[in-house]
Amino acid sequence: MTADNRAISVKEIKKAFKDKQVLKGVNLEVEKGSIFALLGSNGAGKTTLIRILTTLLKPDDGEVLIGGYDVEKLPFKVRELFSLTGQFAATDEALTGRNNLQIIGELNHLKNVPQKSEELLERFRLRDAADLQVSSYSGGMRRRLDIAMSIMSEPEIIFLDEPTTGLDPQNRAAMWQLVKELSESGTTIFLTTQYLEEAEMLADRIAILNEGKIISEGTAQELKQVLPQGVIEFVFQNNQDLENANALFRNFKTTIDLEKLALTVITDGTMKQLTVLFNEVDRADIKIVSFAQKLPTLEDAFYKLIGEKGA
């Protein structure tokens, strides 16, 4: 990635609070116009890193560039480039949706504030509720308004900290669509989320922060490569067939589920090895009720990676 293509550059960022080292040399780069997801367990350092990236906290060491500007040397310039949407909507509940948007426009000295407000109310499906107090909005409506307020000034970068926390599945899916549309329009999205399927669905690249360091980074597919790709689950008619199959596959790593009468077999994923398995079952006259390939999920990879790091 060239310097011209980088929206965010983080080099050896360290941060401690008293005697606790929270960030231990974090490095990452985010490409312009991409969706980048940061994952990590509670206490991994995600919030601390976000606060540093958004000029709310100074690092003890290292360098952060946002849009090419150093966050410590030129914080006011950096703040012109991004917006931050936290876990809870930063709206004024006593005002209407339209008023909330117009205030943001006026604070940022924008032109055509009324027109811009109307466009965002339409885009975020809030026109019918534009003149209602935000206190009457549902959780999904408040989150949509919150993001509409975030992009009122057309920032180059949006930091979304747990944007779908507390939303029902329908509103979560709607929020995913909005994030995709923002990225497609050229906005860089830096996302933290507790929902791993959300990162897998949205992010171009994903980084896993664990105990203050990035332990893995890549696309969702690349991260899942840490897990076996050739996992097959066989379901049998009875316990005897299950036991016979398990004995037959003694040279493979297997897992038995007695309740489902299922046997999970880890293979190398090649057609040759799968063919051998089925031929051996057939020769042993073991009846298979069903079988399926179990593809690894990002959640599987996440827990595998942080488990290995902590081992």
What DSSP assignment string belongs to 180-239?
HHHHHTT-EEEEE-S-HHHHHHH-SEEEEEETTEEEEEE-HHHHGGGS-SEEEEEEESSH
205, 224, 243 - which closes a domain: 224
pLDDT band at 273 (very low <50, low <70, confident <90, very high): confident
What is the domain range of residue 74?
3-224
Provide the β-strand partners of residue 263: 234, 256
Backbone angles phi, psi at 42, to 5 degrees: -60, 130
Instruction: State the total domains in the chain.
Output: 2
Residues 8/55, Cβ–Cβ less than 8 Å? no
Contact (Cβ atoms closer than 8 angstroms) between residue 261 and residue 280: no
Instruction: Report how far residue 124's alpha carbon sits from residue 182's, in angstroms, rounded to the nearest whole number.
Output: 12
Q: State the Cα–Cα distance between residues 22 and 251, nearest whole angstrom.
A: 44
Same domain, residue pair 109 and 205: yes
At residue 194, does pLDDT exceed 60? yes
Please tell me whether residues 96 and 17 are part of one structural domain: yes
Q: What's the chain's average pLDDT?
A: 89
Please give the model's pTM, rounded to 2 decimal places: 0.79
Among 173, 141, 162, 16, smallest CA distance to 84 is for 162
User: What is residue 45's three-state secondary structure?
Assistant: coil
Domain ends where: 193, 224, 255? 224
Q: Which of 8-17, 200-209, 276-285 is predicted with the least confidence, judged by mean pLDDT?
A: 276-285
Angle (nearest 5°) at CA 28 between 205 and 193? 50
Q: Is residue 210 located within the same domain as residue 249? A: no
Tokens of 154: 């057309």
